[in-house]
Amino acid sequence: MGLIANYNVRSMLVRKGTAAMTAMGIAMVVAVFVMTLAIAQGFRATLVASGSPQNAIVLRKSATSETVSAVMKPEFALIETLPQIARDAQGQPLASPELVVIISRPRISDNQPANVPLRGVGPRAFQVRDSIKFVEGRRFTPGLREINVGKLAVGRFKGLSLGSDVKFGNVIWKVVGVFTADDASFESEVWGDVDLMLNAFQRSGYQSVTIKLTDPSALESLQAAIMGDPRLDFKVEREQDYYDEQSQVMTTVIRVFGTFVTLILSIGAMFGAMNTMYAAVGYRTREIGTLRALGFSRGRIVTAFLAESVMLALIGGVVGCLLALPVHGLSTGTTNMASFSEVAFKFRITPALLAGGMVFAGLMGAAGGLLPAIRAARIPVARALREI
C-alpha cells in the first residue's frame, strides 16, 4: 500500500495542471456547501443562544409564538407568585412580563424598511437574561422613555446608535445603552420598559412571561403548577426549546435549499473528477499493465485509483474549506418567519461543518473515481504492455 500511495502521489504531481483544475472544481462545491450551511448554522445558533436551560417561557396554550400570545396583568400577578421562580436578593421574583411588537426602521445597507423587533421587558429582565452585557451606555430606567439596543441592530438599522432619539408609538424614546447577548437574537432587538410600551401601543396585556427557574429541573413542577390552575390557560416551555422551535422553519428552508444546490453542483464536479481519472487511467495503461505483471491484484489497482481520486478530492475539500472560512463571523440578516421580524446573525462555520465538507469531498472523489478505477483493473495485462 505504501508503494501504491507513493506512486499515486507522484502520478498526480506529473499531471499537476489537470489535478489542480479537478481539485478546484471540487473546492468550489465544498465552498458553496460550507457557506450555505454556515448560514443555517448561524441562524439556528443565534436563536438557540437566545434560550437558557434555566429559563422558561409562559405562553397562551394556543399560541405558536410570543407575538400571537396574550398574558393579562392579573394573570401575570398569579404566575409571579409561583415558588419555582428564582428570586433576587430583595426577594423579588425573577420573571419578566414581555411584549414584542415590530417597528419599521430603514436598513443601513439598502435603505429598505425592515421589521425590527421591539421588546418591552420587566424591570428584572436583565437578571432573568444574564447573558446581556452593556458595551455602551447603561440600562434603561423603568418608567422613563429610554431604550436599549442590541449591538447587531445598531449596525444594521438606521438611527439606533447611542444617544439617538427614536420615534415610535407617537412618542420619542432615547437610546441610552447598547448591549451584546452572546450572539443571541436579542442583539437584533430594541428593549424598553414593558408598561410604557403597553401604553404607547394601546395594548391591554402582555404577550408572554419569561421566568428564571430556581433550578433547571424545576420546569416540570412549574408546568404542573400552571396546568393545574384552572385560572391559567397557559403552557410552559423551556426557553431553549422554544427558540429552537422558532428557528425550525427558516433553518429547514435554508438547509433544503443549500443541499439541493450543492447536490446538483456536485454532480458536475464529479463528472470533472471522472474525466480526470479516466484520462489518468488512459495515460497509464502501460504502467498499470506493468504493475499487474509484477503481481499487483485487480483489487490493489482499484484501491490505488480510488485512493488517488479521493486524495485529489480531499485536497479540493481542504481548499474549499479555506475558501469558505473568511465568511465565518460575517453578519447578515433575514426575516424569521415565525416572528415576522428581522434577525441579524453571523455565518457560523463549525468544525463539524468543515468535517462534513471534507466527507462530502471524499464522497465526490470516490463516486467520480469508481468507474475509472474499475476500468483500470479490467485492462488486460498483455494488451496494456503493448500499448504506447
Q: Which of residues 178-207 bind another protein (CB under 8 A)?
A: 201-202
Query: If binding is defined by CB under 8 A, does position 349 make contact with another protein?
Result: no
User: What is the nearest approach in angstroms of another protein to the Cβ of residue 248?
Assistant: 10
Task: Measure CA of the first residue to CA of the last residue in the chain; give whole Å.
Answer: 27
Q: Which residue has the cell 433550578?
A: 215
Amino acid letter at 118?
Answer: L
Q: Is 230 in the site for another protein (CB under 8 A)?
A: no
Q: Which is nearer to another protein, 225 or 323 (CB)?
A: 323
Instruction: Determine, following the binding rule CB under 8 A, whether residue 225 of this chain makes contact with another protein.
Output: no
Q: Is 21 a binder of another protein (CB under 8 A)?
A: yes
Cβ closest to another protein, residue 67 vs residue 221: 67
**Type of residue found at 176:** V
Alpha-carbon torsion (348, 352, 354, 359), positive or negative: negative
Under rule CB under 8 A, which residues in 258-287 are in contact with another protein? Answer: 261, 264-265, 267-269, 271-272, 274-276, 278-279
| Residue 334 lies near another protein (rule: CB under 8 A) | yes
Among 17, 163, 295, 351, binds another protein (CB under 8 A): 17
Q: How far apart are CA 367 and CA 182, in angstroms?
A: 41
Q: Output Rg (C-alpha) for the chain, integer angstroms.
A: 29
CA atoms of 362 and 313, how far apart (whole Å): 6
CA–CA separation, 208 and 116 (whole Å):
18
- 104 bridge partner residues: 115
Among 9, 14, 16, 64, binds another protein (CB under 8 A): 64
328 DSSP 8-state letter: T
> 137-154 in b/e burial notation, b at 16+ Cβ within 10 A?
bebbebeebbbbbbbbbb
> Residue 342 interacts with another protein (CB under 8 A)?
yes
DSSP state of 112: -
Instruction: Find out whether 98 and 279 touch, Cβ atoms under 8 Å.
Output: no
Q: Which three cell numbers stand for residue 105?
A: 426602521
Complex with another protein: residue 104 or 141, whichever CB lies closer: 104
- Return d(Cα 285, Cα 377) in angstroms, integer: 10
35 or 218: CB nearest another protein: 35
Q: How many residues bind another protein (CB under 8 A)?
A: 57
Q: Which of residues 124-163 bind another protein (CB under 8 A)?
A: none
Which one among 4, 7, 11, 28 touches another protein, defined by CB under 8 A?
28
Q: Is 180 exposed, middle or buried (0-12, 13-18, 19+ CB in 10 A)?
A: middle
Residues forming beta bridges with residue 114, ordered by sequence position:
105
CB of 241: closest distance to another protein in angstroms? 16
| Positions 101 through 130 that interact with another protein (CB under 8 A) | 101-104, 107, 109-110, 112-115
Distance CA 228, CA 232 (A): 8
Q: Which is nearer to another protein, 31 or 304 (CB)?
A: 31
Is residue 46 close enough to count as binding another protein by CB under 8 A?
Answer: no
Cell of 106: 430603514
CA 156 to chain CA centroid, nearest Å: 18
- Residue 103 CB, nearest approach to another protein (Å): 5
CB of 325 to another protein, least distance (A): 15
Nearer to another protein, 102 or 381 (CB): 102
Which positions touch another protein (CB under 8 A)?
Answer: 17-18, 21-22, 24-25, 28-29, 31-32, 35-36, 39, 60, 62, 64, 68-70, 101-104, 107, 109-110, 112-115, 168-170, 201-202, 249, 253, 261, 264-265, 267-269, 271-272, 274-276, 278-279, 332-335, 337, 340, 342
